[in-house]
Structure 1
């Protein structure tokens, strides 16, 4: 199968590309190497498979139809896996317009490409942030998601809606995947686990917003990729699935587990809660288990140990 992966140089995108190539697929990776974090990290991610005979890299922007056209005509894709996005909840509050441009308009450009080039299947990377401060736990795909509390979350909800429209109007099979706090080797350096780990190793204080009681459903990258692959194999009609570990952990418990994985104690700098931060995330993965055969297996302590080993042995810098 020929697959177009947007955001192929990123954290999830690079892991998915590696898996697809290992499975014998042909992959075209589209990425603009956005400087949201050090481009050297993304180039390092690409180096893991850039010379593979079945991989082609297209340096381009999902908001530019000409770049998307180049990616779509490099190899006629059978499927688009659209992972590229402008990421980050807090930065989206400070600069919401670029988030709308990339996450909503860029997604529309990709859907237009699927329509124009008659690409029958489309996977869209959504986010657990669409649930906002959902009072019902665990979060299920049927819950109301009309109250996102950050521009980033709102753009992901908008992406799901425009995906439904294209599926309905143009008979494209589209699956939206709501990722719950993915972590593991190559995780973005701005995300909590990676950021905290580097600060702990450098004997610097880690910023902890609130009293440590916020809970997140941390999901190891291998389990995320298993879910994406299952969704790709079963992409039919229009569907939304949660991909999470379904085991939410308090922030203070995460820090304790990270200390164990790194073999060092953290220095805590307590700060006020930040706008846009949700109180908890907790994935109900019943639908994904029943319909995708999704079964996350990586305990947090195991995943953090793998992450810590990678971090200590990588030359990647922030």
Structure 2
């Protein structure tokens, strides 16, 4: 099958494109190579994909012509492209244009097609708000511009599915980590500080935050499983993540154990909108998608440390 992956040079998008290609599918991979974080990492991911026969095209969903990308030949769309994370330097306009308007432009093109692909929207546990412990049927309470705009994009996609204009689903991902993790996220920063003997910036109180830290390949397992369950996925939302909870302090201690030394911490003021707890309720995904994440925190972090050493040391 021919599959479109947006945000394919990013963290989870690149892993998913790679997995789908290994499954024998033809991948149309696009990314706008945003400067939200160091573009060299995205270029490195793109080269990894290129070496495996996947070319990542530079396309901005907000401004470029999409008619040659979203075509009748596409069977699935996996939509990762977004303005990610919680950043004090990112404007609301950046979140809104990248998360909502870009999705709307894709749907505008899809609506013109006679044969429409199945649309897999990649959402986030940030939709739930400060305590992301809810089921898919409970009301979300987002507390950040990121969460608000991702919820809006999700509901836009699902509005199309409810009206029968499109078949699709939305997947809410929980605290993903592993090789290729963005440099602004916890473990890439932590490992970098630990290996380079630099102080790690820790937001006040965040060491007590509980997270469903989920290894990236376990997340990809859930994402690609949609392809075999489109009948039960259409119009539905699914949480994907591990049910195992760990504090940030435990994550830090685990990396220290792998590296064999302590990491100096530099305390920073608390970050507005940051979640105090995430715990993935995956009963629905287990039941309908046979989803069963297996990777423990130490095993996943050992793989991430090895990736960091290989690429940055």
CA shift, 1:52, in A, is: 4.4
Residue in structure 1 matched with residue 63 of structure 2 by the alignment? 64
Q: Match for residue 19 of structure 1?
A: 19
Kindly report which structure 2 residues correspond to 1:141-290, keeping only aligned pairs within 5 A, or say none. Answer: 141-145=136-140, 147-211=141-205, 212-236=207-231, 237-290=234-287
Asked whether the equivalents of residues 8 and 29 of structure 2 are also in contact (C-alpha less than 8 Å), the reply is yes
Which stretch of structure 1 is more off in the superposition, 208-217 or 150-159? 208-217
SS in 1 for 2:69: helix
CA contact (8 A) 2:133 2:277 kept: no
Instruction: Give TM-score scaled by structure 1 length.
Output: 0.92
The residue aligned with 2:37 is 37
Q: How many residues align?
A: 309
Is the 2:158–2:169 contact (alpha carbons within 8 Å) kept by the matching residues of 1? Answer: no
CA RMSD of aligned residues (A): 1.7
- Kindly provide the CA deviation profile for residues 117-136 of structure 1, in whole angstroms up to 9, marking residues without a partner as x: 232300001000011123xx
Q: Does 1:299 align with 2:296?
A: yes
Report the CA distance shift for 1:310/1:189 in structure 2 as closer, same or farther (over 3 A): same
Q: Distance in 2 between matches of 1:5 and 1:72?
A: 11
Question: Do the aligned residues in 2 keep the contact of 1:58 with 1:71 (CA within 8 Å)?
Answer: no
**Alpha-carbon distance in structure 1 between the residues aligned to 2:74 and 2:7:** 16
Indicate if the aligned counterparts of 1:199 and 1:205 stay in contact, CA closer than 8 A. Answer: yes
Shift in CA distance, 33/65, structure 1 to aligned 2, threshold 3 Å: closer
Return closer, same or farther for 1:51/1:200 CA change in 2, 3 Å cut-off. closer
| Aligned partner of 1:79 among 72, 76, 80 | 76
* Structure-2 separation of matches of 1:243 and 1:295: 9
CA distance in 2, matches of 1:253, 1:113: 46
Q: Indicate yes or no: 2:100 matched with 1:108.
A: no
Secondary structure at the aligned position of 1:29 is classed as strand
Identify the range of structure 1 (256-265 vs 109-118) with the bigger mean alpha-carbon deviation: 109-118
Structure 2 contact 74–117 (Cα < 8 Å) conserved: no
Whether the aligned pair in 2 keeps the contact of 1:189 and 1:195 (CA below 8 Å) is: yes
Q: Note if contact 1:262-1:305 (Cα within 8 Å) is conserved in structure 2.
A: no
Aligned to 1:50: 50
Residues 262-309 of structure 1 show CA distances to partners (whole Å, capped at 9, x for unaligned) of 222110122332111111101000000000110000000100011111
Counterpart position of 1:10: 10
Q: Distance in 1 between matches of 2:76 and 2:64?
A: 17
TM-superposed deviation, 1:256: 0.2
Q: Is the partner of 1:265 in helix, strand or coil?
A: coil
Q: Secondary structure at the match of 1:143?
A: coil
1:179-218 alpha-carbon deviations (Å, 9 max, x no partner): 1011100111110110111011111111111232111111
Indicate the larger mover: 216-225 or 268-277. Answer: 268-277
Cα distance in 1 between the residues matched to 2:52 and 2:208: 45
